[in-house]
Amino acid sequence: MEIFEPATWRLIIEEEPRSGPANMAIDQAIATACAAGESPATLRFYRWQPPTISLGRHQAIAEIDVTAADARGYGIVRRTTGGRAILHTDELTYSVAAAADEPRVKGGVMDAYLRLSNALVVGLRNLGLQADKAGADTRVRTDVSAACFEVPSAYEITAGGRKLLGSAQSRRAKYVLQHGSLPLTGDITRLIDVLVLEPEAAQLLRQQLAQRAGTLAQSLGVADDAPEVDFMRVARALVQGFSSELNLTCKPGQLTGAELRAASQLIREQYANPEWTQSR
């Protein structure tokens, strides 16, 4: 087990949801500010409105039935991180942004994944959940579907043998940005409704996804409206996990004016720009 010197990270818990472009722009704006030494390493928890499909950086938008997504009121945004499509709804999303030399994220991709996954596991266990990490040798097959939650990859979080929390990471411009999705409630298979699939393939994938992935409510064996899966309660438990596992003081803070201005520019020029969204 690694021992870290004490450090203070900024903590941002956003009770009010934001749009997909705003959430992705804010994550990147924070990371860029961290790289420039203008902001401290930041742990952020947030939600989405409207429900939004986020595409992996290199994923083809042709895998999404855009008409079906529009009919359901879903937004579509492209992440800067890798992986496959996620439908962000009824969930808690976390992000960690830090300068690349921060000890808790330095090294290779898998080094940071392992450290942050350890913190997430401790946080989930604070909720009474027996959470685990997928093994270091777990790799997504080349024939995996467009759905990110179909199978776990290395160090992603599982509960009861099913994938629970998936993450993706970007390492560039002297920063590390990792964010991940924790479905709290609802139907984990809703994404299938907006994937471009033949009916038989969609039915099979729906069955597989229901078997291989689950929500926090399902993992805890509670109803969707149970207090155990309340957004703020879960966020506080995860903060405790980060604090204890990574020897952190998580100090509540807010986005800076510079971060908000940078995010506004990123929304206009990138995340809400159809050329970016449709770039693959």
Establish whether 148 is a catalytic residue.
yes
Tens digits of per-residue pLDDT, 93-126?
999 999 999 999 999 899 999 999 999 999 999 9
- Per-residue pLDDT of 115-157, as tens digits, reads 999 999 999 999 999 999 877 655 444 444 455 444 445 678 9
Task: Check 22, 41, 148, 250 and give the catalytic one.
Answer: 148
- With cut-offs at 50, 70 and 90, classify the pLDDT of residue 2: confident
- The rounded percent of the chain whose pLDDT value lies above 90 is 87
pLDDT tens profile 24-34: 999 999 999 99
Cα 175 to Cα 37: distance, rounded to the nearest angstrom: 10
Q: What is the pLDDT of residues 3-41, one digit of tens each?
A: 999 999 999 999 999 999 999 999 999 999 999 999 999
Rounded Cα gap, residues 178 and 27, in angstroms: 9
Q: What is the pLDDT of residue 136?
A: 62
Banded model confidence at residue 280, pLDDT cuts 50, 70, 90: confident
Rounded Cα distance, 266 and 118, in Å: 31
SS3 label, residue 227: helix
Note the pTM of the prediction, 2 decimals. Answer: 0.93
First to last CA, the chain: 41
Q: Domains (ranges, CATH) in the chain?
A: 7-277 (3.30.930.10)
171 forms beta bridges with 176
